[in-house]
Amino acid sequence: MPLTAPQKFERKFEQQLRLLEIPKSIFERNIGRHIRSLDRKCDGLSKRIEEKIRQFERKKGIGLDDEVRFLRSWIERPLTTGAVAPSGRLLARAMARYVDPGSEGPVVELGPGTGPVTDALVKAGVAPSRLVLVEFNPAFCRILHTRYPEATLVQGDAYSLRRLLETLLLQPAAAVVSSLPLITKPLRMRMRLVRDAFDLMLPGAPFVQFTYSVASPVPLRLRGFTAEASERIWLNLPPARVWVYRKIR
């Protein structure tokens, strides 16, 4: 069947992205090293920027909205924050759609940030008391605590998922929804995270992950799980796609 104009456009876009990703994968390690070293050098600068912002807030008696808080976090820790702005509503909704609100058990969210995906989960019918939010950034944790007081908030490193949640979860999780910038981590860490998440869930439960990349951030050669991808969400900036991984029953 001949391709429609949007399909042709999408195919062309994907081809261009793939061309960009080949050199990216070749130099990924080197680039990562350079970014980390830049990150360290930026540390002093970002502390000064942070202090200036605080002075500005005090002087004007204002608080910053989520976009500015996010940008500030990205300036401080680009690799950990992984995006310059919170996810858009369409992307958040697309992620939440993979969680069945009628399922049983906690819903774990990794890297909720200022809470756009959390909000979409709640709007989709997941009770806030079922949410277990794992966030690294203390400033985001304070926001989440105010917005979702009924949720269980865990301030910590999601890559130590087993240690963080093993004793906290009283029953298998219904889903794990992740906005972590997985691609900035070595492959073995990503694979360990997904395996640990599968161990906390019942077989068949979804591990939901968004990415700006063309390729799946979890290698599909990992055995014992299925993977499906959503359409690219063009209206998110940058356009993103949702991947869902499920452990085979």
Ligand X SMILES: C[S@@+](CC[C@H](N)C(=O)[O-])C[C@H]1O[C@@H](n2cnc3c(N)ncnc32)[C@H](O)[C@@H]1O
Binding site for ligand X (CB under 6 A): 80-83, 86-87, 111-113, 116-117, 134-137, 140, 157-159, 179-181
CA 192, distance to chain mean position in Å, is: 16
Q: Is 170 helix (H, G, I), strand (E, B) or coil?
A: coil
Taking the complex as a whole, how short is the minimal distance between the CB of residue 82 and ligand X, in angstroms?
Answer: 4
Contacts of 12 (CB under 8 A, 6+ apart): none
Q: Which is nearer to ligand X, 195 or 202 (CB)?
A: 195
Smallest separation (angstroms) from ligand X to the CB of 238: 11
Phi-psi region of 121 (alpha: psi -120 to 50; beta: other; left: phi over 0): alpha
The nearest distance, CB 66 to ligand X, in angstroms, is 8
Contact yes or no for 133/109 (Cβ under 8 A): yes
Cα angle value 46/47/48 (rounded, 5°) = 90
Residue placing its CB nearer to ligand X in the complex, 179 or 198: 179
Residue nearer to ligand X on the CB measure, 116 or 174:
116
Q: In the bound complex, what is the minimum distance in angstroms from residue 61's beta carbon to ligand X?
A: 27
b/e map of 93-102 (b: 16 or more CB within 10 Å)?
bbbbebbeee
Smallest distance, Å, CB 20 to ligand X?
A: 20
Alpha carbon 16 to chain centroid distance?
24
CB nearer to ligand X: give 3 or 38.
38
Considering the complex, what minimum distance in angstroms separates the CB of residue 24 from ligand X? 18
Three-class SS state of 102: coil
Check if the beta carbon of residue 237 is closer than 8 Å to that of residue 88: yes
Q: What is the 3-state secondary structure (H, E, C) of 172-188?
A: CECEEEECCCHHHCCHH
- Cβ proximity to ligand X: between 117 and 201 the closer is 117
Q: How far is the CB of 8 from ligand X (least distance, A)?
A: 30
Q: Residue 143 or 227: which CB sits closer to ligand X? A: 143
- Residue closer to ligand X by CB (options 174, 177) is 177
